[in-house]
Protein backbone atom coordinates (compact mmCIF):
# COMPACT_ATOMS: atom_id res chain seq x y z
CA UNK A 1 0.00 0.00 0.00
CA UNK A 2 2.88 2.41 0.82
CA UNK A 3 4.62 1.66 -2.48
CA UNK A 4 1.42 2.43 -4.38
CA UNK A 5 1.10 5.78 -2.64
CA UNK A 6 4.74 6.64 -3.41
CA UNK A 7 4.29 5.78 -7.08
CA UNK A 8 1.03 7.75 -7.30
CA UNK A 9 2.71 10.66 -5.55
CA UNK A 10 5.53 10.76 -8.10
CA UNK A 11 3.03 10.94 -10.95
CA UNK A 12 0.67 13.42 -9.30
CA UNK A 13 3.27 15.92 -8.08
CA UNK A 14 3.91 17.00 -11.68
CA UNK A 15 0.24 17.90 -12.14
CA UNK A 16 0.24 20.78 -9.67
CA UNK A 17 -2.68 21.79 -7.40
CA UNK A 18 -5.02 19.21 -8.90
CA UNK A 19 -2.45 16.62 -8.12
CA UNK A 20 -2.31 17.73 -4.47
CA UNK A 21 -6.06 17.36 -4.16
CA UNK A 22 -6.01 13.93 -5.77
CA UNK A 23 -3.11 12.95 -3.52
CA UNK A 24 -5.14 13.92 -0.46
CA UNK A 25 -8.08 11.82 -1.62
CA UNK A 26 -5.86 8.80 -2.23
CA UNK A 27 -4.21 9.13 1.19
CA UNK A 28 -7.61 9.45 2.91
CA UNK A 29 -8.89 6.35 1.11
CA UNK A 30 -5.73 4.44 1.93
CA UNK A 31 -6.07 5.30 5.64
CA UNK A 32 -9.68 4.14 5.65
CA UNK A 33 -8.77 0.84 3.98
CA UNK A 34 -5.89 0.32 6.41
CA UNK A 35 -8.21 1.05 9.35
CA UNK A 36 -10.77 -1.49 8.13
CA UNK A 37 -8.09 -4.14 7.61
CA UNK A 38 -6.70 -3.45 11.07
CA UNK A 39 -10.14 -3.81 12.72
CA UNK A 40 -10.86 -6.98 10.75
CA UNK A 41 -7.57 -8.50 11.93
CA UNK A 42 -8.28 -7.35 15.48
CA UNK A 43 -11.72 -9.01 15.48
CA UNK A 44 -10.26 -12.27 14.19
CA UNK A 45 -7.57 -12.16 16.86
CA UNK A 46 -10.17 -11.57 19.59
CA UNK A 47 -12.26 -14.50 18.29
CA UNK A 48 -9.23 -16.80 18.37
CA UNK A 49 -8.32 -15.67 21.88
CA UNK A 50 -11.87 -16.26 23.12
CA UNK A 51 -11.92 -19.73 21.55
CA UNK A 52 -8.58 -20.54 23.17
CA UNK A 53 -9.81 -19.23 26.52
CA UNK A 54 -12.93 -21.38 26.24
CA UNK A 55 -10.79 -24.47 25.66
CA UNK A 56 -8.62 -23.64 28.65
CA UNK A 57 -11.67 -23.28 30.90
CA UNK A 58 -12.74 -26.81 29.99
CA UNK A 59 -9.48 -28.18 31.35
CA UNK A 60 -8.27 -28.52 34.92
CA UNK A 61 -4.52 -28.11 35.08
CA UNK A 62 -2.85 -30.06 37.88
CA UNK A 63 0.62 -31.30 38.73
CA UNK A 64 1.80 -34.83 37.94
CA UNK A 65 1.91 -35.63 41.67
CA UNK A 66 -1.69 -34.42 42.12
CA UNK A 67 -2.85 -36.43 39.11
CA UNK A 68 -1.22 -39.62 40.42
CA UNK A 69 -2.79 -39.06 43.84
CA UNK A 70 -6.28 -38.52 42.43
CA UNK A 71 -5.94 -41.46 40.06
CA UNK A 72 -5.09 -43.73 42.98
CA UNK A 73 -7.93 -42.39 45.16
CA UNK A 74 -10.60 -42.65 42.45
CA UNK A 75 -9.35 -46.13 41.62
CA UNK A 76 -10.01 -47.22 45.20
CA UNK A 77 -13.43 -45.54 45.24
CA UNK A 78 -14.36 -47.12 41.91
CA UNK A 79 -13.60 -50.57 43.30
CA UNK A 80 -15.70 -49.96 46.43
CA UNK A 81 -18.58 -48.61 44.34
CA UNK A 82 -18.66 -51.71 42.15
CA UNK A 83 -18.52 -54.11 45.10
CA UNK A 84 -21.31 -52.23 46.91
CA UNK A 85 -23.46 -52.00 43.77
CA UNK A 86 -23.27 -55.74 43.11
CA UNK A 87 -23.84 -56.64 46.77
CA UNK A 88 -26.95 -54.46 47.08
CA UNK A 89 -28.32 -55.60 43.74
CA UNK A 90 -28.40 -59.20 45.00
CA UNK A 91 -30.50 -58.26 48.02
CA UNK A 92 -33.46 -57.96 45.63
CA UNK A 93 -32.24 -59.39 42.31
CA UNK A 94 -34.42 -58.18 39.44
CA UNK A 95 -34.74 -61.68 38.02
CA UNK A 96 -36.26 -65.06 38.92
CA UNK A 97 -34.02 -67.16 41.14
CA UNK A 98 -33.84 -70.90 41.59
CA UNK A 99 -35.73 -72.41 44.51
CA UNK A 100 -33.38 -73.41 47.30
CA UNK A 101 -33.91 -75.58 50.33
CA UNK A 102 -34.77 -73.52 53.39
CA UNK A 103 -31.38 -74.02 55.07
CA UNK A 104 -29.40 -73.15 51.92
CA UNK A 105 -31.71 -70.23 51.19
CA UNK A 106 -31.15 -68.83 54.69
CA UNK A 107 -27.39 -69.09 54.26
CA UNK A 108 -27.52 -67.39 50.85
CA UNK A 109 -29.66 -64.46 52.00
CA UNK A 110 -27.67 -64.05 55.18
CA UNK A 111 -24.40 -63.90 53.23
CA UNK A 112 -25.88 -61.39 50.78
CA UNK A 113 -26.94 -59.18 53.64
CA UNK A 114 -23.54 -59.39 55.34
CA UNK A 115 -21.80 -58.62 52.03
CA UNK A 116 -24.01 -55.59 51.42
CA UNK A 117 -23.55 -54.31 54.95
CA UNK A 118 -19.75 -54.63 54.72
CA UNK A 119 -19.61 -53.08 51.24
CA UNK A 120 -21.66 -50.04 52.25
CA UNK A 121 -19.58 -49.54 55.38
CA UNK A 122 -16.31 -49.69 53.41
CA UNK A 123 -17.67 -47.30 50.77
CA UNK A 124 -18.75 -44.83 53.45
CA UNK A 125 -15.40 -45.13 55.18
CA UNK A 126 -13.30 -44.46 52.09
CA UNK A 127 -15.49 -41.49 51.12
CA UNK A 128 -14.95 -40.04 54.57
CA UNK A 129 -11.19 -40.66 54.50
CA UNK A 130 -10.62 -39.31 51.00
CA UNK A 131 -13.19 -36.50 51.00
CA UNK A 132 -10.57 -33.67 51.00
CA UNK A 133 -9.17 -35.01 47.71
CA UNK A 134 -12.48 -35.64 45.91
CA UNK A 135 -14.05 -33.00 43.68
CA UNK A 136 -17.16 -31.50 45.29
CA UNK A 137 -19.46 -32.52 42.43
CA UNK A 138 -18.28 -36.13 42.41
CA UNK A 139 -18.40 -36.35 46.20
CA UNK A 140 -22.09 -35.39 46.19
CA UNK A 141 -22.76 -37.99 43.49
CA UNK A 142 -20.94 -40.68 45.47
CA UNK A 143 -22.72 -39.74 48.69
CA UNK A 144 -26.18 -39.80 47.06
CA UNK A 145 -25.40 -43.22 45.60
CA UNK A 146 -24.33 -44.48 49.00
CA UNK A 147 -27.73 -43.37 50.35
CA UNK A 148 -29.49 -45.30 47.60
CA UNK A 149 -27.53 -48.43 48.56
CA UNK A 150 -28.32 -47.88 52.24
CA UNK A 151 -32.03 -47.62 51.41
CA UNK A 152 -31.81 -50.99 49.69
CA UNK A 153 -30.16 -52.54 52.74
CA UNK A 154 -32.82 -51.03 55.01
CA UNK A 155 -35.58 -52.41 52.79
CA UNK A 156 -34.03 -55.86 53.12
CA UNK A 157 -33.88 -55.52 56.89
CA UNK A 158 -37.58 -54.65 57.11
CA UNK A 159 -39.19 -56.41 54.16
CA UNK A 160 -36.73 -59.07 52.98
CA UNK A 161 -36.88 -62.82 53.67
CA UNK A 162 -36.00 -62.24 57.32
CA UNK A 163 -37.52 -58.78 57.54
CA UNK A 164 -39.05 -57.70 60.84
CA UNK A 165 -42.11 -56.42 58.93
CA UNK A 166 -42.36 -59.29 56.49
CA UNK A 167 -46.01 -59.87 55.64
CA UNK A 168 -46.95 -60.74 52.07
CA UNK A 169 -50.60 -59.72 52.70
CA UNK A 170 -49.71 -56.22 53.86
CA UNK A 171 -50.17 -53.56 51.11
CA UNK A 172 -47.28 -51.54 52.53
CA UNK A 173 -45.04 -54.58 52.36
CA UNK A 174 -45.99 -55.28 48.76
CA UNK A 175 -45.38 -51.66 47.82
CA UNK A 176 -41.95 -51.62 49.49
CA UNK A 177 -40.98 -54.91 47.85
CA UNK A 178 -41.95 -53.59 44.42
CA UNK A 179 -39.85 -50.47 44.99
CA UNK A 180 -36.92 -52.55 46.22
CA UNK A 181 -36.87 -54.74 43.11
CA UNK A 182 -37.15 -51.64 40.95
CA UNK A 183 -34.31 -50.04 42.87
CA UNK A 184 -32.07 -53.01 42.05
CA UNK A 185 -32.18 -52.10 38.36
CA UNK A 186 -31.67 -48.42 39.22
CA UNK A 187 -28.58 -49.29 41.26
CA UNK A 188 -26.87 -50.85 38.25
CA UNK A 189 -27.88 -48.03 35.89
CA UNK A 190 -26.75 -45.38 38.36
CA UNK A 191 -23.41 -47.10 38.71
CA UNK A 192 -22.89 -46.91 34.93
CA UNK A 193 -23.68 -43.18 35.01
CA UNK A 194 -21.16 -42.60 37.79
CA UNK A 195 -18.44 -44.41 35.87
CA UNK A 196 -19.11 -42.18 32.84
CA UNK A 197 -18.90 -39.04 35.01
CA UNK A 198 -15.59 -40.20 36.44
CA UNK A 199 -14.25 -40.69 32.91
CA UNK A 200 -15.37 -37.20 31.93
CA UNK A 201 -13.64 -35.77 34.99
CA UNK A 202 -10.32 -37.46 34.23
CA UNK A 203 -10.52 -36.47 30.57
CA UNK A 204 -10.78 -32.85 31.73
CA UNK A 205 -7.47 -33.02 33.58
CA UNK A 206 -4.24 -31.73 32.05
CA UNK A 207 -0.86 -32.33 33.64
CA UNK A 208 1.31 -29.22 33.96
C-alpha 117 chain-centroid distance:
28
For 46-68, how does the pLDDT look when each residue is reduced to its tens digit (9 = 90+)?
A: 565 555 445 544 556 678 888 89
Spell out the residues 6+ positions from residue 119 whose beta carbon is closer than 8 angstroms to its own: 80, 83, 84, 87, 88, 149
CATH number of the CATH domain containing 140: 1.20.1440
CA distance 17 to 59: 64
CA distance 24 to 9: 10
Structural domain total, the chain: 2
With b for 16 or more beta-carbon neighbours within 10 A and e for fewer, the 145-162 pattern comes to bbebbbebbebbeebbee
Residue range(s) defining the domain that contains residue 102: 61-207
Same domain (yes/no): 22, 108: no
pTM, entire model? 0.68
Q: Angle CA(107)–CA(108)–CA(109) in degrees, nearest 5? A: 95
For 79-119, how does the pLDDT look when each residue is reduced to its tens digit (9 = 90+)?
A: 999 999 999 999 998 765 555 556 777 888 899 999 999 99
Same domain (yes/no): 159, 94: yes
Same domain (yes/no): 50, 129: no
For 159-194, how does the pLDDT look when each residue is reduced to its tens digit (9 = 90+)?
A: 887 776 666 677 777 888 889 999 999 999 999 999
Amino acid sequence: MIEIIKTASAIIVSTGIVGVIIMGIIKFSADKIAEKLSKKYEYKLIEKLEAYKSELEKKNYISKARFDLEFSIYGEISEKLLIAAEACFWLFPAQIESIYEDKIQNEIYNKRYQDAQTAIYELQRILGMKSPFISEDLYEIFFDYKKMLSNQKTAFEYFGPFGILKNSNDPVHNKEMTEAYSRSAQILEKHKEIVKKMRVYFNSLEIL
